[in-house]
Structure formats: C-alpha cells, structure tokens
Amino acid sequence: MEHVTPKEAAKILGVHVSSLRRWENEGKLKAIRTPGGQRRFILSEVEKVAGVPRTIRIVCYGRVSTHSQQDDLQRQLEHLRYSYPEAEVISEVGSGLNFKRKKFLAILERIIDGDIQRLVIAHPDRLVRFGFELVKWLCTKFECELVVLNDRKLSPEQELVQDMLSIIHCFSSRLYGLRKYKSTIKEDLQKEVTVQGIDKAVTEQCIENQAIS
C-alpha cells in the first residue's frame, strides 16, 4: 500500500496542506502516523478524492498439485491469458489442501495491502480445495473482486482423487494414533470410575468416542 506526504497529497488534490488537516479531522481523508510522528496519506484514497481513475491490477492464478500435471497447468494458464490478456499471471505447483503455498500466501498478502483489485481463477478448487468462501470473504473485505471462470475442464479429476486419499490418510493416521493409546485411556477412565463413582455408561461412551474421533 503506497503512501504520500502531505505536500504530495496537496499537489495531487490541488489544495493547501492546511486543507488536508481539516479534511482529516472531518473524516474525509484518512492519515497514518509514522514512527517519527509524521503524517502520511494513502495514495489510492487521495486519488479517489481527487477523482483520478483507479488503476485496476488484475492477477490470474493457476495451480496443479504435481509437476506431472504440467499439461493441465498450461491449459489453465492459456485460458486465463485468453480471458485477461492484460493481467499478471501467477502459477504454482502444490496441493489445494496446503494453505501454506508460498505464492498463494503472497497473493493474499497483496490483496490485504490493496495491491490486487481483481483475482481470476479457472475454478474454485484451483485456489483452495476447501475454504473457498473464507478466501472470497477476505477478497470482499479488502475490495478485491474474485472472478471464477468456472471451467470444470480445467479442474483435473485425478487431483480430486489424490486430495481425497490425502484426507483419508490423515484421519486414518489420527485414528491409528488414538487406538495405540486406547488401553491407556480405558485404564485411566476406569480408575476415575472407582475413585469418583462416575457413571459407567458415560465412561464406555467416552472410550468409544476416543476410538472414533
């Protein structure tokens, strides 16, 4: 997010610097303070007040899960470039279940900073496999339009199967981990029953929950 000094803002608006102070007090124009106490104005807000047409930065994002899907990725990128030839195109290889993808996080940071006004994807699962509505909410909050072309041909079915298997493996591992400690959990709960007189039915249900959670 770019900032300008009061002098620079006044030049853009064609007013005296003292007018900026009054507009700030009236809430017409927001200012921030630097660590040294100096005022700075957000350039996009100054241009908005001045009536300067806003430059819309468009970013197209394409993604596949593995390097073996390069053909799928190229088809995505070609489709995105055809639809938005003036846009910046970013591609990434990584699972849609992974929210720590570097380029994905970098795009979110740029949206928060106001650097991207339109984000374009071929299909919702190219952005994230789950949690799309949360990302959509974040885009709306920071005034970034999220455009989904909804081309299902660019959403590889094989990748969906891989993601589902990853989820099953994850929960199976957790379930196996709980089963390893099932006997210890059961012994501890039985001790509680003896010491504190806890309802046996409640104890048995707790053991069952531990086994299937």
* Active-site residue flag, 19: no
Q: Which of 44, 65, 91, 166 is catalytic?
A: 65
Enter the DSSP assignment of 55: P
Q: Active-site residue numbers?
A: 65
